[in-house]
Structures are given as structure tokens and as C-alpha cells.
Amino acid sequence: MAQQQTARQVRPRIVQGVRLHTVEDWQNFNLAQPGRDISPTELDMFRQRVPLQEKMRVLDIGCGNGRWTRELAKLGLGVTGFDWDSAAVERANSFPTLHPRPDYQVWDVMSQDPPAWIEPGTVDLVTFRYSLGAMKPAVVLPLVGTMLRAGGQVYILTDLDRKNVDDHTQLTPGLTEAKIRSLGKGWGHMEVWNFGLRTGITLAGYGL
């Protein structure tokens, strides 16, 4: 009984103690967590708003352990997951899969030029699942906008950043309502939807 009580006490301390502001924070998080669950509701909402075709060229930016990247591969998409943390990329590559294994690469989208093989106008979909809040959207979104084909989309899933609230369930940085509204600047189309405490966004038509 004492051993079970200890286990219940340890897990909240590990989860609540993670604040993803440093390299060490991110590495500890990626080592401790398998990745945030993908619910049927989340997947349905994604598929309703993003028309999918087999072998679409997809970039998953801020992929972490690759959980969402692997889900995209299961849907038959040609996906590459990127993360700035080489330890996260190494762990993503270690997960077994019965489906085609996604490609994972190290790329710091905030400070490095895109890989040479990503040419402008060649990408169908770029996804940021719980990752854009850790970046500067005003820098990152114009960059990926130039990568998209005509008709290409950006898909974002984020926690809502509730300022001045001590919320231990919000592990990854979220976006404020004001910042979410600002994401559409420079894009011809923006759709926003909420489920639970999370917000989904699609962007299309960069520069239109």
C-alpha cells in the first residue's frame, strides 16, 4: 500500500514540474512523456477542415516525440517531422510502427534556414501541434507560407494561454486569444474552432 501511495505522489510532481523554457526542460519532457493523446474528436475536426490525399507532402514542425507525425503517416501522408532538439528526434525515431516510418530531422525553424530540399511552393500541409506557442508566429508563419503550394494549408493546435492562472495541466506554451486573432495577418483564409480548452486553426492563401 505504501508503495502505491508513493507512485501516486511522484507522477504529479514530475508532470507539474515541467516548464518548457530551456533545452533541459524540453529534453526532460520528451523523455518523460509519450506525447499528448490524439482523441477521435481532435482527429475528426482535423479531417473535416483539411482535405487529405494520399502522399501529400507534409511538414510537422515541433514534432517532439513524433506522436502526431506518426498519426499523419498512418493516414497515408508523406510526412517529415522536425524538431530543434536532436534528443527528441532520436527518440521519435525509436518508436516502433506498423505503418511507413516518417522521416525525422533536426531543424530549428526559428534560427536556421529551411533544409535545401524544401523548395518554395512544394508543400501541401504544415502542422504545428502544441508547438507554435514556443515559437514566434510572426517569424515562422511567413516562412512556411512561402513553402506551400497553391491551396496548401497550415494546421495549428494550441492550448489557450490563460494568463495569471496557475494551471499545472498546461505543459506546453499556449497562445493568448489576442495572439490567435493575429495569426491571420497576411493570409487569405483563417478558420478557428474550440474544443475543450484547446483551439484549432487553419490558415491558407498566404499573401492573398
Work out the angle at residue 207's Cα, subtended by the Cα atoms of residues 205 and 208, and round it to the nearest 5 degrees: 60
Fold designation for 2-206: Rossmann fold (3.40.50)
pLDDT at 28: 64
Work out the angle at residue 69's Cα, subtended by the Cα atoms of residues 45 and 74, and round it to the nearest 5 degrees: 75
Q: Per-domain residue ranges for the chain?
A: 2-206
- Look up the pTM and report it: 0.83
How far apart CA 128 and CA 62 sit, in angstroms, is 7
Instruction: Give all strands (DSSP E) within 2-95, no chain letters.
Output: 57-61, 78-83
pLDDT at 196: 84
Q: Do 190 and 183 meet the contact criterion of CB atoms below 8 Å apart?
A: yes
In eight-state DSSP terms, residue 108 is -
Phi, psi dihedrals of residue 198, rounded to the nearest 5°:
-110, 155
Instruction: Give all strands (DSSP E) within 133-196, no chain letters.
Output: 148-159, 187-195
In eight-state DSSP terms, residue 134 is G
Q: pLDDT digit string (tens) for 18-75? A: 455 566 666 666 665 656 789 999 999 999 999 999 889 999 999 998 999 999 999 9
